[in-house]
Structure 1
């Protein structure tokens, strides 16, 4: 398991932002329990995102409440008095007919009057209680605040995505510094630095045209690799660097599959290396080299 490559893949940032699939989420949580380095990086990423969110959070504008209530009309409603209610009702009984014998009819002792608006529809105004208006106003206020909150969440998510992008760029820059961000300058510096031993690895029968140079600091045991020519690794495969110390192969790390134009920083080796070699292994590496898959090798002169 190449822990550093897993950390640099960006999946931890996606996990913190909540953009991973359920399977990836389970994978990250499992890896963080197995590998303390991944758990530490995950906690550091969560802390960085939380700090960024707190630093860039936007509180609701102070004028929001006043502007909302200014648009509301809370005028009290006047009740309709009994006199107005009586005017809306016509309670007179008319004599229907006095031609029907045997049926007593109401007698109107007053002079008959013609009601001109008898067929007009009487409109009744419905009175809305004050508390109902207040509830509607509160609902409108809540809806507007919810809308404002949604906008803020969208902006916050956009800020998180921007932060994730910036973090990826920073990681790329850091990786570039580790692997030789300025390729020509780093390569020239390694060739001219007397503390580094240059080991030329020539192509083996598996790939005669391949050529790779290793730079070994014999005081610190740091190792860098410059790939001049090497076939692209097939899917599911990755190149692995080895040193031979006391007749035994020592793993010095996996080559980035995007090795073109880079000076790759590898793991530190053990003192006393007599040779360097590169084999093609399954992605992530193996504990011992597959000799049939050796592509280049070079002795330490």
Structure 2
């Protein structure tokens, strides 16, 4: 199994973000137990996500607690009844209190029952007229306050979870971008390493073609294998060919130009393989020709040239 390819597939990042299927989740967990490299990369990804979440977390406002408790009133709020109604109600309450105290004791259960005061009876009564007075017990008010507090905290948690989800999505996008950048850097490093090995090869003769009056800033190197006569081109700086045009490589043999093939339209960061060179070649040059090449070079459109 290609462990590095599995790591670079992106499934570990998806596993950490919780976007994989149940089958993929089991697969990742199984692979992390089998291969230490996968487990190490998984732990590194989880740590990176945790650090990202901690870095971008949004704490609740410092004033939230004070605002909540400022809106809560735990004192019993009662509406004072009109004097006439209170006067008419008091005898009834007193009479009810006296009746309760006069209940006969028929058994032990009733004997242990404490008498109920008129104030307690009055606290549970509501009058039917428009001037009704309602007194709620303290535990009910605490329950209402707790419910309000729970609802606010639940809403705040939902808002935070939404923010975390957006942060995770941003983190996934950042991870994809980072992975893309790392892949590009890896390819560029591989290209430079391969190119350096070509330049260091003692069997290769490097012919540097400098820019001419047509394009002074242009630079192209021809890497000529003197044993096989294979020729590679390292295009270091050359303007993009206009529409309908294409660059063409030439060698000079016995004072005559010899076609070495056309360059790819996309030649940046590439090593182009051209036709084999004649052992008697004394110079290399590149001209701009029509797409597909020309049987003879257009001298006024010569961009670079270099002697062997």
TM-score by length of 2: 0.47
Greater radius of gyration (CA): 2
TM-score by length of 1: 0.48
Structure number with greater CO (CA < 8 Å, separation at least 6) is 1
